[in-house]
Amino acid sequence: MLTKKLALGLAAPLWLAAPAFAQDQDFSAVKIETQQLGDGLFMLIGSGGNIALSTGPDGSVLVDTQFAPLNGKILAAVRAAGGGDVKYVINTHWHGDHTGGNEPLGKAGAVIIAHNNVLTRLSSDQVMGAPFNSTTPAAPAAARPVITFPARTTFHLNGNVVNVVHVENAHTDGDSIVHFTNANVIHTGDTYMKDVYPFIDVGSKGSIDGFIASSAAVLARSDGSTKIIPGHGALANKADMQRFHDMLVKVRGNLKTLIDQGKTEDEVVAAKPTAEYDAGWGGGFMNAETFTRFAYQSLKQ
**Average pLDDT of the residues of the chain:** 92
pLDDT tens-place string over residues 60-85? 999 999 999 999 999 999 999 999 99
Residue range 160-176: average pLDDT?
97
Beta pairing partners, 61: 54, 88
Other Cβ atoms closer than 10 A to 54: 29
The Cβ-side half-sphere exposure at 89, using a 13 Å CA radius, reads: 34
HSE value, Cβ hemisphere, 13 Å, CA-based, for 259: 16
Long-range contacts of 217-226 (CB under 8 A, 24+ apart): 217/165, 217/167, 217/177, 218/177, 218/186, 218/188, 218/191, 218/192, 219/245, 221/177, 221/179, 221/186, 222/186, 223/184, 225/184, 226/184, 226/185, 226/186
Do residues 62 and 16 touch, judged by C-beta distance below 8 A?
no
Task: Tell me the pairing of strands 111-115 and 86-90.
Answer: parallel
Contact at 8 Å (CB) between 293 and 203?
A: no
pLDDT digits (tens, 9 = 90+) for 43-66: 999 999 999 999 999 999 999 999
Q: What is the dihedral of CA 101, 105, 110, 116, to 10 degrees?
A: 30
The more confident residue out of 24 and 264 is 264
- Residues 254, 273 contacting (CB under 8 angstroms): yes
Position 25 scores a pLDDT of: 73
Instruction: Evaluate the omega torsion of the peptide bond into residue 145 and state whether it is cis, within 30 degrees of 0.
Output: no
Q: What is the predicted pLDDT for the residue at 301?
A: 84
Q: Work out the percent of the chain whose per-residue pLDDT is above 70.
A: 92
211 pLDDT higher than 70: yes
Provide the whole-model pTM.
0.92
Q: Which domains does the chain have, with CATH numbers?
A: 2-246 (3.60.15.10)
Query: At 174, which amino acid appears?
Result: G
What is the maximum span of the chain, computed from C-alpha positions, in angstroms?
59
